[in-house]
Structure formats: structure tokens, C-alpha cells
Chains A and B, each alone.
Chain A
Amino acid sequence: MTTATAASIHSLWTTLADSTPGAAGASTSTLFPAPKIEYAQLSPVLIVFGVAILGVLVEAFLPRRTRYTAQLGLSVVGLAAAFAAVVALAADGYASTKSHIAAMGAVAVDGPALFLQGTILLVALVAAFTFAERRLDPAAHGSRVDSFAAQGSAVPGSDQEKAAVKAGFTTTEVFPLLLFAVGGMLVFPAANDLLTLFVSLEVFSLPLYLLCALARRHRLMSQESAVKYFLLGAFSSAVLLFGVALLYGYAGTVSYGGIADVVNGSAKLTPALANSTATDALLLIGGAMVVVGLLFKVAAVPFHMWTPDVYQGAPTPVTGFMAAATKVAAFGALLRLLYVVLPGLRWDWRPVMWGVAILTMVIGAIVAVTQTDVKRLLAYSSIAHAGFILAGVVAVSPDGVSSVLFYLGAYSFVTLGAFAVVTLVRDAGGEATHLSRWAGLGRRSPLVAAVFAVYLLAFAGIPLTSGFAGKFAVFKAAAEGGALPLVIIGVISSAIAAFFYIRVIVLMFFSEPRPGGPSVAIPSPLTSGAIGLGVAVTLVLGVAPQYFLDLASKADVFVR
């Protein structure tokens, strides 16, 4: 038995010396059939990556003054085309009846994947507008500048940086970086094996690390946030990778369906490990480490430490994009992992996720109360929201999936809009993010303050905003899934969270504006469009959520 196994193992990568070349060639061709790639079903991802590569070529070959227009046009057209491809796939029935696994088992094309891809593409489209905003900063030496450094490699305050600013340089590389990140995020929730999961995680993380370091103002803070995000992000992906290795050791395969079969007991453990008593340890520790890697990306307590610093230091358009799109992609991957790979273990992971959800909601809400910086406040609010979404994840029901999908769609537009408003309130040093500087903003610029108030009310979950519809959906799903204590704690922490949102509204509208306070910059149609779209989505999803809830509940079945 042992010798036979050993011989068959070695025959995988060695061949007997006396075998004829023809026979070896024949066996190779059966071992490695040409992969069958369904290009049409992968078209959203392929379009985004293709346009990103075009963007790199634009950087290489076009003269500097034409790059901004070319990059913006390319990004917008590419993202819109990819969104159209997603809609076409969904209309074709890939979200329901025709959902299946493409690219030799690597990528799932199903309802949750298409719904989340559509959300990510819309978010990225709006984020591209905020990236391109050039009217907020005062013109430097006669040329309009955006929120990104003139030259990322120049030391802050050095002669080199001054020369770059004087020459009117801008970092138009942010658009290809944005597109590469979006491409990775499109694959992440659709990944159907652990290899695709890991590679797409890195593909979307690496551009984000770079984008964080590229702020025009407060560059030291921006670089610091990039270092923190990079070191902690690399650490968490190493943890995820070791978990992947253990799961592979347990099941002998990295495909989601294959691991799920072994977990359920419908497929046999490999003979090499069947006699060992350590296999359960491999499964439990491996699953836990993969989940930890994903919880880091969604910023759940206790893996949230990076969030406030990174959100505060990164350029605000990047923060908005990161807060919205990363969360969507990472929750999509978490849902697929827990619902497709590990449903057989749900009695093990549900209590743990309960604990994480409770901690995340409570700590996110309570620590937010003490914040004095708008961006940090929004960071802690995003942590609290991760907890609310986790409440939908632990429901383990189709309603849980659809409520999470709806919540992610609603939340991402509110976040993006709120960070876009933050870019408008400025003083001589750039954005005025300290809360005390926002006092009396409602007296001076009622429109901007009112829009921000709408976003804050949506964060708080006040009826007639999308936040209420989303929270109602996840809490209902959680309660029906038997997690009533979780719902009660969730409602209490929503109330705590509402306190500090209302406090900001009171500060803006009911206190006297201080002399020398910040001014509100008049944005170009790019940012106004982003903010307006955010308000429109918030109100439409709040007043008439039914259509979108139906859409989400039609997309709640994972393919296996």
C-alpha cells in the first residue's frame, strides 16, 4: 500500500527513464488539458483590468498635460462598460438560473457575485469623480491641482517637491491604481477557490497601500498611514495564507466545493491524513485564520486597529473609496467562505461571529463618541457598521445574505458621499477635519451642512433614509435566524451611535460660527455629482427600498 502510494505520488513529477517519449507526451496531455475560460462571463473583470493596463500605457506615452483628461475619460468609460457587462450578465440569467462556476472552478458567476460587482463598479465610478476633483485646492502656480501629491517620491518640503509643484505635476497614476484595485475587488467576492481568493486580495490591497501614501496636504500623515496599512495588511494576508495552507492540508484541494465536501463528510479525507487525529485541528485553525484575514479587511473588532489611522491619514477621496468598496468586497468574500465552504461548521463559527459582531458594534459606537476628528469619527462609524452587517452574516439564511447585500449597497453610497463632503470644508492648511472647526457650519453653508446631516441621519439609521431600511433588513434576518440577543445589543449600540451623529448635527446648526473658521469650497460638477448621487441613493433606498430589497433577495443564492 505504502509503496504503491509513494510510486503514484512520484509519478506526478517524475517519469521512468525507460519509458518512451511518446508515452510520456500522451500522459502529459491527459494531465494538463487546455483550460476553458468563459471570457463573456468574466468580461466585467477583464474590461477593468484591460483599461487599467491602458492607463499604464497612457502614463508612459502621452504628454503630461493630456494625461488627466485621457485617464479620467478611460476610467469612466471602462467602469461604465464593466457595469453594463454586469447588468447584461444579470439580465441574461447568470444571477439566478444560469449561475455557474467559470474559469475552471476559479470564479463563481452567481447572484451575490454579480450584485456585489455591480455595487463595487458604481462606487468606483463615483469615486473616480472625487479622485478627479480639481477645484478645491487653490491653483498652484497657475495650474489646477487635485488631492494627490505632485510627485509621490519627492520628500515633503524638499526642493524637489517645490520644483514638482511649480512645474504643475499631478499624480495621474491614481486612476490606473484605482482600476487595478477595483479589478481585484471584483474578483474577491466571486473567488471560488482559495488561490483566487488570496491573489485577488493582494491585487486589490497593493494599489490601496500606494494610494494612501499620495496625499497632497499632510503628506507625513499620509505616508504614516500607508506604512501602517501596509505592514498590518501584509501581516493579515500572511495569516490568511497560513490558514489557506492548513485548509489545503485538511482537504487536499483548494476549491471551495471540494473543501465543503470534505467538511460535510461526503468526500473522504485523503489516506495520508485519515489516520491522524490532528485533522480537526487543521480544519478549525485553518478556517479561523482565513476568517481572521477577512475580518481584518472588513475592520471588525479586534482587528480594527488600523482603521482610524489609515482613514484619517489617507487622501479623503481614497478614504471614501476604501471605506465603501473594500467593505463590499471583503464582506462578499466572507459570506461566500462561511456559506459555501464552512456551512458544515456553522455550529462552531456562529458563536465566534456573534462575539465579534457584538464587540464590533459596541466598541465602534462607544469609541466614536470620544472622537474629535471628522475622518476618525467616520472611521469608527464604519467599524460599528461592520458589526451591524456581521449581524446579518450570522443569520445563516437566504434572508441574511440578501439583507447583507442590501446593507452593503446602501452603506457604500452614504460613506462615499460623507467623505466627499469632508473634502469641501477647508481652511488654509487644506481640509479642516477637526470637529470644533465644523461648529456653525449650518449657519454659513446651509446646503453643505444639510447634505452632511442627511448622511449622518442615514448612518444613524433614522427612518426614510437608506440606513434605516438596511438596518431593519439585517436585524430582521438576524432575529429570524435566532440571534435575538444580538439584535437587542445592535439596537442599543445604534442608539449610542445616533447620539454622536446627532451631536455633530447640533454642532453644525445650533452653535455660533467662530471667526476665522473654515470656508466651504465650491466644487466642480464632479464632486457635486458624487455628493448629489449619494443623497439621491440614500433617500430613494430609504423611501422606496422594496425594489432594491427584491433585487437583493433574487440574488441571494450562492453557486457551488
Chain B
Amino acid sequence: MNPVNYLYLAALLFTIGGAGVMIRRNAIIVFMCVELMLNACNLAFVTFARLHGNLDGQIFAFFTMVVAAAEVVVGLAIIVTFFRSRHSASVDDASLMKL
């Protein structure tokens, strides 16, 4: 199978994630969409590594996974404190500073 198809899939996943960030209102879902975008990047990296025949892209995918894990730790900590003080994780409720 032509590996370029995996690139189309990666672009599609990235777009779905990006659209989710824009339109979903729950902070956790928004965060999951960001993770989907990161995974789309990983798929693209691995596919390009296969196309180019070098390992840089595969190494990059490992780093992305580690960074994504660190991001989950920080992100869930922030979202959980936010939820506990408001009993809602909706990003629409975050409007204390609107002019």
C-alpha cells in the first residue's frame, strides 16, 4: 500500500482534532482533541520516516509521546483544580475577565 495514504490519514486526524478544539466546550474534550492532534503528528512522523528511510521521524515520535505524557500531567492538574472550584469544566464558564 502506498504510504502516502497514511499522510492523508494524519492530516485528517489533525483536522478533526483542530476542529474539536474550536467547537467543543468541555475542557477535557478540548484537551483530548489536542492529544489527537499530537497523535496525528506522530503518524505523519512515522510515515515520513518510512518514506525517507531514516530513523529521525521515529525518534521524534518517541519524544512526542513523552512530551504528551508530561502535558497530560500538567493539563489534568490545571483542569481538575478548575473543575473543583467551579463544578464545571465548560470553557464557556471561564469568562471572569471578559470586558
Contact = CB atoms under 8 A, between A and B. Distances in A.
Interface in A208-259: 209-210, 213, 219-221, 223-228, 230-231, 234-235, 238-239, 241-242, 244-246, 248-249, 252-254
B7 interface: yes
B45 A13 contact: no
B54 A245 contact: no
Contacts of A220: 85-86, 96
Contacts of A371: 99
Contacts of A231: 21, 27, 30-31, 34, 75, 91
Interface in B1-38: 7, 10, 14, 17-18, 21, 27, 30-31, 34, 37-38
Interface of A: 5, 8-9, 12-13, 152-153, 155-156, 195, 198-199, 202, 206, 209-210, 213, 219-221, 223-228, 230-231, 234-235, 238-239, 241-242, 244-246, 248-249, 252-254, 270, 272-273, 308-309, 312-313, 370-372, 376
B97 A234 contact: no
A352 to B, nearest CB: 20
Interface of B: 7, 10, 14, 17-18, 21, 27, 30-31, 34, 37-38, 40-41, 44-45, 47-48, 50-57, 59-60, 63-64, 67, 70-71, 74-75, 77-79, 81-82, 84-86, 91, 94, 96-97, 99
Contacts of A156: 85
A245 B44 contact: yes
Nearest to B70: A206
A235 B34 contact: yes
Top 6 closest A-B pairs, CB basis? A238-B37, A9-B53, A245-B44, A249-B48, A252-B52, A272-B51
A496 B11 CA distance: 42
Given A231-B34, A234-B71, A248-B48, A223 B82 contact: yes
Contacts of A270: 51-53
A222 to B, nearest CB: 10
Max count, chain B CB within 10 A of own CB: residue among A206, A228, A245: A245
Contacts of A370: 99
Nearest to A9: B53
Max count, chain B CB within 10 A of own CB: residue among A153, A230, A238, A376: A238
A7 B78 CA distance: 48
Given A153-B81, A238-B34, A9 B50 contact: yes
A225 B82 contact: no
29 contacts: A9-B50, A12-B55, A13-B55, A198-B63, A202-B70, A206-B71, A206-B74, A209-B74, A209-B78, A213-B78, A213-B81, A221-B97, A223-B78, A224-B94, A224-B97, A225-B97, A227-B27, A227-B91, A231-B91, A234-B71, A235-B21, A235-B37, A238-B18, A238-B38, A245-B44, A248-B57, A249-B47, A272-B51, A313-B97
A419 B42 CA distance: 40
Nearest to A226: B78
A219 B85 contact: yes
A195 B56 CA distance: 9
Contacts of A313: 96-97
A152 B94 CA distance: 19
Given A234-B34, A242-B41, A202 B71 contact: yes
A8 B52 CA distance: 11
Nearest to A312: B97
A153 B55 CA distance: 42
A375 to B, nearest CB: 10
Contacts of B54: 12, 252-253
B71 A227 contact: no
A241 B53 CA distance: 20
A227 B64 CA distance: 22
A524 to B, nearest CB: 29
Contacts of A13: 55
Contact of B82 (A224, A238, A309): A224
Nearest to A309: B97
A245 B40 CA distance: 10
Nearest to B17: A238
B51 A253 contact: no
A535 to B, nearest CB: 30
B75 to A, nearest CB: 6
Given A213-B78, A220-B96, A253-B56, A242 B86 contact: no
B89 to A, nearest CB: 9
Contact of A224 (B21, B38, B53, B96): B96
B91 A238 contact: no
A444 B50 CA distance: 70
A376 B97 CA distance: 10
A8 B50 CA distance: 11
Nearest to A276: B4
Given A199-B67, A248-B48, A234 B75 contact: yes
B74 A227 contact: no
A270 B54 CA distance: 11
Contacts of A219: 85
Given A231-B91, A313-B96, 17 more contacts: A152-B81, A155-B81, A210-B77, A219-B85, A223-B82, A223-B85, A227-B91, A228-B91, A231-B27, A234-B34, A241-B64, A242-B44, A245-B45, A245-B60, A252-B48, A253-B56, A270-B53
A227 B97 contact: no
A231 B55 CA distance: 31
Contacts of B55: 12-13
Given A209-B78, A223-B78, A230-B78, A202 B67 contact: yes
Max count, chain B CB within 10 A of own CB: residue among A252, A309, A313: A252
A235 B86 CA distance: 23
A258 to B, nearest CB: 10
B41 A238 contact: yes
Contacts of B74: 206, 209-210, 230
